[in-house]
Structure 1
Amino acid sequence: MATLGRPSHATEQRERVLAGAAQIFSRQGYRATSMAEIAAEVGLSKPTLYHYFRNKEELLVRLYEDVMNESLVNVRRIENTVSDPLDALREFIVYRVRYTCENQAIHKVFFEEEEELPPGLIDSVLEMRKQFEDVMKRLVGRHLERTGRSLIVSKTVYVNTCLGAANWVYKWYDPAGPLKPEELGRDVARVLLLPLSG
């Protein structure tokens, strides 16, 4: 029996397999990766790997679901707990940059392997992405309403520009560089929020 409050061995193994799959998909691409290579990456036999995941597609789907679920939970928490909309936007951007920097491999997969998702899941991912963007749009709208400010572009263009900048750090962030993910997040937020606070 698993100890109360601690993840089971099976849960820990699945998380380890997912992390390993993200690493190898990131290095060599989803199509070029076999289940045997994933098994070797995480030190399991191929039959044991199939005990946790039926196929490569299930692994990819789970990676996407995990990223979207975790992201939505966190930005909704920010929206519901940070009362000032500008402060909430700042925390939203810092969170997004930090999470992306700390999970570069999975974000490389997330942004570059989307076409490999089964057709039924694409709609679900797009809907979750829309919900994520809608949180930021609501925060921008609340700030503009509170301050009487306006943007020179639509909220959609502004939000997509912010998210594009925050998401793109997976391509260039260097963990050995001078900035920690949180510090980089603060710098990115400072730049992106200038149209709202300058």
Structure 2
Amino acid sequence: MARGRSASYQGQREMILAQAAQLFARRGYSATSMNEVAQACGLSKATLYHYYRDKYSLLVSIADDHVSRLAALIDDEEAKHLQGEARLRHLIRRIVEEYADAQNAHRVLTEDVKFLEEADRQRVLDKERLVVAGFAQALAEMRKGTASEQMAKPLTMLLFGMINWMFTWMKPEGQLDYDAMGPIVADLFLGGVGEVKLPVAAGRDG
């Protein structure tokens, strides 16, 4: 009977993925070597190959793990049975929170998915489409019966246009963190600039 892998093995794999994602995000997939990944992890190259057979397998795991977590978030939200604006606001908050801990992985997904082989790229894109569909469904339900119900998909893409590029300007030491940005994104998207409220903590700091 085969033995299951230990928790430490999985923890080591996750550490390697985090370090690789940071390098890929900063330097680009093509410009990063397995030697550099091993050095960043504090591992020998031989040990690194024990966990991942090559640089490509790192890229696949980073991209697939990231979109899998986003797709699981959609499934989890559907189980909560929230309706209307409450559902969309909760979805926005959850996905912004998820991005807070996955900025490097999201940059890799955005910029390096072109290096994936067709089957791997298709699998990742299919999961991305599930995420988009989850948001579009929430929007369509809010607009049900209106002449513009069919705008749910374009509006969803505009929403993701706001969220997807936050990693390019959000700073960990900045006045606004991802916890604060979730409600701001929801207010802006649902009500316009006039509905955006200054977070309490940011107001105190000012």
TM-score normalised by the chain length of structure 2 = 0.85
Provide the rounded CA distance (Å) in 1 between the counterparts of 2:41 and 2:68: 24
Tell me, what secondary structure is at the counterpart of 2:133? helix
Tell me the residue number matched to 1:4: none
Tell me, what secondary structure is at the counterpart of 1:65? helix
Tell me, what secondary structure is at the counterpart of 1:174? coil
Tell me the residue number matched to 1:130: 129
Tell me, what secondary structure is at the counterpart of 1:44? coil
Of the three residues 172, 189, 193, the one matched with 1:192 is 189
Q: Which runs of 5+ in 1 are unaligned?
A: 1-6
| 1:165 to 2:136 alignment | no
TM-score normalised by the chain length of structure 1 = 0.89
Q: Which runs of 5+ in 2 are unaligned?
A: 1-5, 196-206
1:102-181 alignment to 2 at 5 Å? 102-145=101-144, 148-149=145-146, 151=148, 154-181=151-178
Query: How many residues in Structure 1 have an aligned counterpart in Structure 2?
Result: 190
Provide the rounded CA distance (Å) in 1 between the counterparts of 2:137 and 2:185: 20
Residue 101 of structure 1 and its aligned partner are, at CA, apart by 2.8
Tell me the residue number matched to 1:19: 18
Tell me the residue number matched to 2:82: 83
Residue 173 of structure 1 and its aligned partner are, at CA, apart by 0.8
The code of the aligned residue for 2:87 comes to A
Deviant stretches of 4+, over 6 Å? none
Q: Which moved more, 1:36-45 or 1:131-140?
A: 131-140
CA contact (8 A) 1:68 1:125 kept: yes
CA contact (8 A) 2:143 2:149 kept: no
Describe the superposition over 1:124-171 as per-residue Cα deviations: whole angstroms up to 9, x where unpaired: 1111111111111111121222xx555497222101000111111011
Provide the rounded CA distance (Å) in 2 between the counterparts of 1:165 and 1:75: 18
Q: Do the aligned partners of residues 150 and 76 (structure 1) sit closer, same or farther apart at CA in structure 2, a change above 3 Å counting?
A: farther
The code of the aligned residue for 2:34 comes to M
Provide the rounded CA distance (Å) in 2 between the counterparts of 1:68 and 1:49: 24
Tell me the residue number matched to 2:203: none
The code of the aligned residue for 1:120 comes to A
Tell me the residue number matched to 1:45: 44
| Structure with more contact order per residue of length (Cα contacts < 8 Å, sep ≥ 6) | 1
Residue 37 of structure 1 and its aligned partner are, at CA, apart by 0.5
Of all paired residues, the percent bearing the same amino acid is 30
Tell me, what secondary structure is at the counterpart of 1:154? helix
CA contact (8 A) 1:101 1:173 kept: no
Provide the rounded CA distance (Å) in 2 between the counterparts of 1:150 and 1:82: 25
Provide the rounded CA distance (Å) in 1 between the counterparts of 2:150 and 2:21: 36
RMSD: 2.1
CA contact (8 A) 1:97 1:169 kept: no
